[in-house]
Amino acid sequence: MAPPVEMPAPHLTVVPPAPAEAPKPAAGTASETKGASAEGASAAGSKTRAPSPAAAPAGGDGARSGMDVEVLARNLAQMMEEGGKAMAAYLTPRHPGKTDDMAEDIADALKTVSHVAEYWMADPQRTVEAQSRLMAGYLSVWANTMKRLAGEEVAPVTKPDARDARFKDQGWNDSPIFDALKQAYLVTAKWAEDMVEEAEGLDPHLKHKAEFLVRQVSNAISPSNFVMTNPELIRETMSSSGENLVKGMRNLTADLIEGKGTLKIRQTDTSAFEVGRNLATTPGKVIFENELMQLIQYEAATASVKKTPLLIVPPWINKFYILDLTAEKSFIKWLVDQGVSVFVISWVNPDARLAAKGFDDYMREGIMTALDQVAIATGERQAHAMGYCVGGTLLATTLAYMAATGDDRIASATFLTTQIDFTHAGDLKVFVDEEQLASIERKMKDMGYLEGSKMASAFNLLRSNDLIWPYVVNNYMKGRAPFPFDLLFWNADSTRMPAANHSFYLRNCYLTNNIARGLAELGGVRIDVHKISVPVYSLATKEDHIAPPNSVYIGANLLSGPVRYVLAGSGHIAGVVNPPARGKYQYWADGPTGPSFDLWLEGARESAGSWWPDWISWFSAQHPDEVPARAIGGDRLTPIEDAPGRYVRARS
């Protein structure tokens, strides 16, 4: 069920401010690009906003006052011309006989939804009851609308969630017609969700897929996504005499050209950022490299440093500099400023030559080779390790492998939004079943890797009302350029994944949960995560749709050593990338131990602000000894190049 449009890389759950609000850069994520208000940054304010038309009801004198009919006619003609260019940009890369990637996805979606339809159509009485329920909702909306048009004040039949940014424009409430359109849409969306929820006898995975698909269709057909059914867009079009539509069509053409015929929706102004210039600027050197990774050591910023160094294992699905954005948001810089000797793996952006590289290769040539080099550079046999997302999953399997082979070089482990048990892995599981995996593996076999945009799209579909449709409206209907936002630049900087590695990950984590069950093997060794006994700090984030907090909690409870489980506010990126100086969000800790996440949360202590200070206190207690600041490479390894290195700059 690969998504139909090319979107920026996963993770990625920040939720930035809606584009129409002209977001200003702030810490959040890919998802951060996540959880609309919870994950993203705040709106910038009038200085960064494009002038907006008067807030007159759509179709009224205020809407007409700025319209020049002749200019509108010319703009509509120009829009049609630009539309031809967009169509050419879509068709040019295609050739006869080429199979569209969407064909299998559409077939799978229709097959899934048909199972729900069969349930309701199998019993005529159920069919009538379902239709009657929908019609009753429409009649209630119609009756209320007639009363409003007659001057009565009536309570709405239904209303959107207070956090739903799609209907925040006052025109949706002021106009009885647009209010009726909004309510009819909400009635339909709720009815469709109920049809799936109440369908009995469906396979749980099939039902989960159907719920996800219905939600995606509902999000796509929202009246807020179309010019003629959105009062704000009508005002915009009238006040600019259609110039917004011309600009929007140009943006559409540009995005189709950029995506080589696939719609690559821009979420930010990518020209505003450059890795190594205003992102990933913490001073350091690449001290080692092989075909899978570069190892970066960062310059000490304090006179003394922690004796035991820290190795960070980022996800290979994204690039490591999510932890080293601007200086104000950089977790890596903050660590260095706290006196931590920091080493970071920067994974290669692989191509077909690395198709056979598997999970065990990433363990041996990634983490274990990096540990060898850290020991050479520092003279310390042991190191602490930190893994983020799938980097944490790899770290957990490596720790289990090391426990089985008697390797104790990792002194403690920190897991950031890391799943070890995938029983409750959330909506990403809708993309993983045997049929879909077989399709993915066929495509990877042909190319040798999975395009980063494919998995990126899946992550963005988890929050399509935050990460897709607001940008469709902003870019193509309002005709505005996306606002510069560093997290979204990173989110769009996707990476490829080697076929063997990605297949192992999907099958042993999402499909079979073999890692948690002790049935997976790495390097010929059966992996048993219960044997992990080192001290662990496990961080989850409350609104994470990629690594749900309950899933992270269950995985942490599989480990045998002492575990400090902490829950941060916000989502997968915003909750992690949360510098203390910003004073945002909160975290929970010290809940009662046991198998129940809900009981843990009920008894946990809430603290305001970032989790970073809590982590440094825990980390410093593990091995408190300090030594004089170390030179990069320790006079044993010759630096290859300045951080952030070549690997992270390679674009997909």
Would you tell me how many other CB atoms lie within 10 Å of the CB of residue 415?
30
Distance from C-alpha of 395 to C-alpha of 370, rounded to nearest angstrom: 12
Q: At 42, is the pLDDT very low, low, confident or very high (cuts 50, 70, 90)?
A: very low
Here the CATH number for the domain that contains residue 335 is: 3.40.50.1820
Look at residue 397 and tell me if it is in a domain.
yes
pLDDT for the residue 95: 54
Q: Are 629 and 300 in contact (CB under 8 A)?
A: yes
Asked whether the predicted pLDDT for residue 12 surpasses 70, the reply is: no
The segment with the largest mean pLDDT, out of 77-91, 368-382, 447-461, is: 368-382
Asked whether the predicted pLDDT for residue 651 surpasses 90, the reply is: no
3-state secondary structure 201-242: CCCHHHHHHHHHHHHHHHHHCCHHHCHHHCHHHHHHHHHCCC
Q: Point out the catalytic residue in the list 187, 279, 389, 554.
A: 389
Q: At 533, is the pLDDT very low, low, confident or very high (cuts 50, 70, 90)?
A: very high
Distance from C-alpha of 490 to C-alpha of 504, rounded to nearest angstrom: 26
Is residue 559 domain-shared with residue 624, that is, in the same domain?
yes
Among residues 185, 216, 239, the one where a domain terminates is 239
The region of weakest confidence among 304-313, 456-465, 523-532 is 456-465
Work out the percent of the chain whose per-residue pLDDT is above 90. Answer: 76
What's the DSSP call for residue 66? T
Asked whether the predicted pLDDT for residue 87 surpasses 80, the reply is: yes
pLDDT for the residue 7: 38
Asked whether the predicted pLDDT for residue 152 surpasses 80, the reply is: yes
pLDDT for the residue 543: 95
State the chain's mean pLDDT as an integer: 88
Among residues 239, 255, 271, the one where a domain terminates is 239
Q: How many structural domains comprise the chain? A: 2
Q: At 459, is the pLDDT very low, low, confident or very high (cuts 50, 70, 90)?
A: confident
What's the DSSP call for residue 158? -
Is residue 290 domain-shared with residue 223, that is, in the same domain?
no
Look at residue 460 and tell me if it is in a domain.
no
Is residue 410 domain-shared with residue 350, that is, in the same domain?
yes
Distance from C-alpha of 30 to C-alpha of 396, rounded to nearest angstrom: 23
Q: Where are the beta strands (DSSP E) in 223-328?
A: 284-289, 293-298, 304-306, 310-313
- pTM recorded for the entire structure: 0.87
**106/536: higher pLDDT:** 536
Look at residue 444 and tell me if it is in a domain.
no
Asked whether the predicted pLDDT for residue 56 surpasses 90, the reply is: no
pLDDT for the residue 100: 53
Look at residue 532 and tell me if it is in a domain.
yes
Is residue 206 domain-shared with residue 288, that is, in the same domain?
no
Look at residue 337 and tell me if it is in a domain.
yes
Does the annotation mark 509 as catalytic?
A: no
**91/47: higher pLDDT:** 91
Is residue 411 domain-shared with residue 300, that is, in the same domain?
yes
pLDDT for the residue 97: 47
Is residue 116 domain-shared with residue 233, that is, in the same domain?
yes
Look at residue 312 and tell me if it is in a domain.
yes
pLDDT for the residue 355: 96
Among residues 175, 210, 239, the one where a domain terminates is 239
The region of weakest confidence among 102-106, 222-226, 584-588, 640-644 is 102-106
Counting beta carbons within 10 angstroms of the beta carbon of residue 448, is it exposed (0 to 12), middle (13 to 18) or buried (19 or more)?
middle
Asked whether the predicted pLDDT for residue 131 surpasses 60, the reply is: yes
Interior/surface letters 148-176, b for 16+ CB within 10 angstroms, e for the rest: beeeeeeebbeebeeeebbbbbebbeebb
Is residue 187 domain-shared with residue 310, that is, in the same domain?
no
Residue 79 CA: distances (Å) to CA of 154, 235, 243, 592: 41, 18, 9, 61
Mean pLDDT of 31-59: 36
Is residue 525 domain-shared with residue 609, that is, in the same domain?
yes
pLDDT for the residue 29: 37
Is residue 310 domain-shared with residue 419, that is, in the same domain?
yes
Is residue 118 domain-shared with residue 180, that is, in the same domain?
yes
What's the DSSP call for residue 29? B
Is residue 215 domain-shared with residue 304, that is, in the same domain?
no
88-115: pLDDT as tens digits: 888 877 655 445 566 777 888 888 889 8
Q: Which domain holds residue 212?
A: 57-93+102-239
H or E element in which residue 536 lies = strand 536-541
Q: At 312, is the pLDDT very low, low, confident or very high (cuts 50, 70, 90)?
A: very high
H or E element in which residue 446 lies = helix 434-447
Look at residue 487 and tell me if it is in a domain.
no
Look at residue 40 and tell me if it is in a domain.
no
* Joined tokens for residue 525: 């060794």
- Please give the radius of gyration of the chain, using alpha carbons only, rounded to the nearest integer: 26
Vertex 210: Cα angle to 29 and 129 (nearest 5)? 130
226-261: pLDDT as tens digits: 999 999 999 999 999 999 999 999 999 999 998 888
429-446: pLDDT as tens digits: 999 999 999 989 999 999
Q: Which of 650, 296, 330 is nearest to 486 (CA)?
A: 330
Is residue 210 domain-shared with residue 290, that is, in the same domain?
no
Asked whether the predicted pLDDT for residue 565 surpasses 90, the reply is: yes
Q: At 456, is the pLDDT very low, low, confident or very high (cuts 50, 70, 90)?
A: confident
Residue 540 CA: distances (Å) to CA of 26, 336, 534, 548: 20, 23, 19, 7
